[in-house]
Amino acid sequence: MRLTWLLRSGFMWALAGLVFIGMGTYNAVATWLEPILKNYGEAGAAGNLIAIMTVAGIAGAAVLPAWVARRDRRRTMLVAAVTASVVVFTAVALRHDVVWIGAWFVVEGFLLMASLPVVLDWSELRAGAQRHGEAAGFLLMAGNLGGLVLPGLLQLLLGSSALPLLLLAGAGAVGIPISLRLPIRGEPRV
């Protein structure tokens, strides 16, 4: 099976970059939130906050992808998700009470976790029926790599109170220009 089409596709690489950031962000939060919150005296709330983010993400993944696909607003959704990451993690770095963090994590989970089905749907439209498995595998490998790299980088910053959160905001900021490179509409190209 030839994968040159995949390696030459700027579109698929852009999606891979976004999945790298998204899965990396979620894994970093799920892995290191407790020691981050320990810096603020709120370590005991980490499990509940991760659960809140995850439940909001499940709700978002149940509702948003179909809505976005019907309106062909995939790029808008992905831009919103990475922009939300910048805002959410900056807000949490600036203020540390549990209710504040929980409210922001609802937003983050709702948008972040809904992004993966949007990306996979869009990649299938672009790759076509014959190659969508290759595209999905490529994107999920990128996500798993992000799930290793971002938590690893974040671990290096755990001695600081705000830097780990600002790293996650920075990852979202990197995703903004990547998402803006995507086409406004998701018409298929087989």
* Tens-digit pLDDT profile for residues 92-117: 999 989 999 999 999 999 999 999 99
CATH code of the domain made up of 20-180? 1.20.1250.20
pLDDT of residue 190: 38
pTM, rounded to two decimals: 0.93
Q: What single letter denotes the amino acid at residue 41?
A: G
Range in 11-15, 48-52, 65-69, 126-130 the model is least confident about: 126-130
Residues 35-81 pLDDT 10s: 999 999 999 999 999 999 999 999 999 999 999 999 999 999 999 99
Q: How far apart are CA 155 and CA 148, in angstroms?
A: 11
Alpha helices in the chain, H assignment, sequence order: 4-7, 10-38, 46-71, 74-94, 98-127, 132-155, 163-180
Task: Break the chain into its structural domains and give their ranges.
Answer: 20-180
Residue 185 gets which letter from DSSP? S
Best CA proximity match to 161, nearest among 94, 109, 105, 100: 94
As given in the structure block, the two tokens for residue 185 are 């509409």
